[in-house]
Each structure stands twice: as C-alpha cells, then as structure tokens.
Structure 1
C-alpha cells in the first residue's frame, strides 16, 4: 500500500509531565501505516519553530515521506492533554499554521498514491471530492455518526471510519450499513472498551477490545485506522483485519503519546499553562 495522509498535525502537550509528542490524526495514521508496512507520505503544514522541527524529525525517523510538508512562518499547532486514569481529554489548543489548502503540486503528488487518508480535523472538506476523483479516499468522521456533515461527504469515501462510543452496538451497525449504502466500500466503527465493528456491504463483523494495562488512549483510534487500511488494501479477511487493528490500537494505549518521540515542552507552552 502506498498511502498519502493529508491534513492536520499537532504537538500533544502533557503539561503536568513536562513533555510533548507529535500527533494529529493524519500524522498518526501516516506513522502507523508505515509501521504496518506501507509506503506512507504526509501532506500538511507546520511552523518554522522548534515544535515544527520535532514534528518533522519524528516523521523522518518513522520513514514517512515529508517532501510535501510545508514549513511556514508562524507557530506549529499544539493541544494540551489531560490524562486521568489513562483516558485522555484535551484542554486549550491552537492549530497554528496547520490549516492549509492543497495546490496543484499536492494534487499531483497525492494522485501517485494508491490511497489517501484525511479527517474531520483537516478542514479540507471542499477539496475532498477532487482528491477522491483520482485516488480512493479513507476518511475519519470521528463522532459525526450519520449527521449532515457525514451525509455530505460519504459519497466520496471508499473507507469510512467512525468513533461510535456513544452508540450501542445495534445503532453502530446501522450506521455502518448506512455508510455502505451511500457508497463506501467498507465502514468501520470503534467503540472504546466496546470493541470495533466492520461492515463490507455484505457481512457485519464485531471484535472485542483487547484488555491492557491502560496508560494513555491518545492515538488508539488513529492506530486502528492505519492497521485496518493495511489489512483492507492487502485483501485480508474482515475478521483478521479487525483482530490486527484492535490489537495494535490496544498496544498504543500502554504508553504515552500516539507513537512516542517525546521531547520537553517548549517554553511558551510551559509558561502559558503553568
């Protein structure tokens, strides 16, 4: 699989611990896709600052192609992370220069891939139809489970992912059937401790969550997406796809950050939220 992840990036800042980690849905998917054996690229924008340097260095260290990573004047985005009993939530944040527009060279670059992934956080919704016209699109709808936002985008999506912890299993299954009826080749939902579901237009499969000693849930859903995409594009059976994706997501929950690479907080973050 040759995957282009297009969109958001962030530095996840654990203020109490004094460390930050590179992240963002599309960055996390690119890294974990590379770990799953894909040739992964990242298309996005980061600042010409220390956080941007650390983000780029982490992507390079993971073998992700960053030839279309813009480095712009201005700050790299950050989000403060609150970890309580392993469950993460977000505090103050600033996207920095992460919001960008795809240009003609980006489109040509993306078109050379077999699959493109983006997310609700990328804020590129109006450009996704043009992207999907050339390359199959994977999209993370997060908690947009069948609302107007999802309805507008689902016709362009080949692989649809939803965060459905707020739905029971029956409603989550109905959501996946809806997504495939609207054009998705496969639709998947994660339900936290409730496990995950996959519907391929014909068969619905469920997989329980893998129990682990929980440290930090940050990045678990993105990891699930990356390994599910690796399995879907490799032609694995649905049961094996779910098993591998759930196991990989659980493993991420045993350490801090979405894929490691911690570094000390930059001074302005420490000062702002001390």
Structure 2
C-alpha cells in the first residue's frame, strides 16, 4: 500500500516546556500511516531554511517517510504556540500564520503528478493552500481533505467536488447539527464524510449510512494530534478493506495512544520562545 500526504507542516512550540515538536495535519497523517503499518509513505511540502524546518524534515526521516520532494525555501517554517489545560486538551495561543508556506504556493511538476498517480490516496488540508491544484490532482488520485473548522458554503462548493473524503472537526456540533452538516457536504459533492468530535467520538458517512464511534478511555497527557491519528488510521483501514466499523474502532484505539504523550508524535527538541503570545 502506498499513501502520500501533501501540504502543511509546523513545529508546535510548548511554551511551558520550552520544547518544540514537529506537526501539522499533513505531516501527522503521514507519520501515523507509517507507524500503523503502511509500507510506503511520502510527504511533499514546504519548509523554511531554519532550525524548525530542519527538525521537521529530520523527524520525518527518522519515521522512514520519503521526503525527497520536500521544498526548502528562504523564510521561517510554520509555527504554532501550544498550551495545555488541566485536562490535557491543547489550546493554540499564537502562531506565525504558517510561515513561508503561506507565502509560497506548492506547484506540482509533471514528474510529481506522475509519482502521485502511483499512490492509492493523497491527503491534504485547509492549511495547505492547494485548493487551486485539486482539479488537476483529482485526475491522478483520490483525495482526502481535512477542513478543520472551515464550514462556509462557498468553501465547501469550491473543494468538495474534487475530493473523495471530507474531514471536519465537529466538537461544537450537536448530533442533529452533525447529521444536517453531513448531508450538506454530500450535496456539495463529496461521497464520504468524517466528523471528529473530541470526547464525543466520531461519525462517518458513506452516503448510505452514518456510523458512530466512541472514544477509548485513557489517561490523557496531551490531546494534540489525536484527531489526526484517528483520521490516518481510519483512512488506511478503510481504503484497504472498506469496513467502516473496524476502521473507526482501530482509529479510536490509535487516537487514545496519542493522548498519552506530548506532541503529536514525539521528537521534542528544546528551544527558546520566538513568538509573542497574543
């Protein structure tokens, strides 16, 4: 099985610990694919020419992710400042708005499109800023797209026709609101919808049936990356065998393991603070 993640990367800086961890939705999904048994995983993205970018790329290499098509640009890598509440829930309290990857757009060469077409699935996100590339990418591969909390109709109409899996954070939705929103996303053109809901678990709709999965109880150290873990493992399992219930169970179990450590997937590195917390 071959899977590829494209787009956003950051370092998550824990101000209270003076420590940075590699992360970002696309990076996290790539790492958890590899950790949970995908043989061939690649990542394409843009990093800055700084200590943070070097740490992101080196961490991916340690996870045996192919980073041969990562671009290094002159400028700062993406960074988010993180704090944890008394329950271990992560809060983002500052950022540099994506750093250099917000300013420099990912453009895919013909050879890269040929490479991408050899994979089973491409995962990207709202933070990757490749919406204009989706129509071309769709010609080559199925796409999963994490919208985070971007729910506006114009954006759904722009993205949904080009993707196979739409993923949203729906922790603030009631069950009734979830059901209505899932119908809206299907109507916009996406056949499969995933809603992660924090302590309420997750929902998945394949256009025919809505499946529900609770969380696995565990001692929580840090929730950062738990949703990305669920998504990665769910997609890996579902693409392989199409059994939604099994895929959701395995995703939930993996997410609970992520909650037991700091950072989405570890690789913490000490560093001084660079961003003023707003």
* Coarse TM-score class (shorter-chain normalised): over 0.9
Show the counterpart of 2:99. Answer: 96
* Contact 2:94–2:275 (Cα < 8 Å) also in 1: no
Rounded to whole Å, the distance in 2 between the matches of 1:270 and 1:190 is: 31
Rounded to whole Å, the distance in 2 between the matches of 1:271 and 1:233 is: 40
Pick from 223, 242, 247: which aligns with 1:241?
247
Show the counterpart of 1:109. Answer: 115
* Contact 2:94–2:276 (Cα < 8 Å) also in 1: no
TM-score where L is the length of structure 1:
0.93
| Higher strand proportion | 1
TM-score where L is the length of structure 2:
0.92
Rounded to whole Å, the distance in 1 between the matches of 2:171 and 2:157 is: 19
Q: Deviations over 1:193-216 (max 9, x none)?
A: 111111112111111122221211
Residues 1:172 and 2:174 are matched in the alignment: no
Show the counterpart of 2:5. Answer: 5
Rounded to whole Å, the distance in 2 between the matches of 1:151 and 1:192 is: 26
The more displaced of 70-79 and 225-234 is: 70-79
Q: Deviations over 1:23-67 (max 9, x none)?
A: 000000110111122221111011222111111111011111101
Residues 1:135 and 2:141 are matched in the alignment: yes
Secondary structure, aligned partner of 1:231? helix
Show the counterpart of 1:61. Answer: 62
Residues 1:76 and 2:77 are matched in the alignment: yes
* Contact 2:4–2:30 (Cα < 8 Å) also in 1: yes
Secondary structure, aligned partner of 1:37? coil
Secondary structure, aligned partner of 2:46? strand
Matched pairs, number: 271
Counterparts in 2 of 1:74 and 1:145: CA distance versus 1, 3 Å: closer
Q: Deviations over 1:141-161 (max 9, x none)?
A: 111236321222111110111
Secondary structure, aligned partner of 2:69? strand
Rounded to whole Å, the distance in 2 between the matches of 1:48 and 1:108 is: 27
Question: Within 5 A, what are the aligned runs for 1:204-223?
Answer: 204-223=210-229
Secondary structure, aligned partner of 1:68? coil
Rounded to whole Å, the distance in 2 between the matches of 1:82 and 1:106 is: 37
Q: Deviations over 1:62-121 (max 9, x none)?
A: 111101111222222211111112111112211222233223143333222221111011
Residues 1:184 and 2:186 are matched in the alignment: no
Show the counterpart of 2:24. Answer: 24
Rounded to whole Å, the distance in 1 between the matches of 2:224 and 2:114 is: 32
* Contact 1:15–1:270 (Cα < 8 Å) also in 2: no
Rounded to whole Å, the distance in 2 between the matches of 1:87 and 1:55 is: 23
Rounded to whole Å, the distance in 1 between the matches of 2:244 and 2:276 is: 46
Residues 1:200 and 2:206 are matched in the alignment: yes
Task: Give the deviation of 1:272 after TM superposition.
Answer: 5.4
Residues 1:161 and 2:172 are matched in the alignment: no
Counterparts in 2 of 1:75 and 1:270: CA distance versus 1, 3 Å: closer
RMSD across aligned C-alpha pairs, in angstroms? 1.7
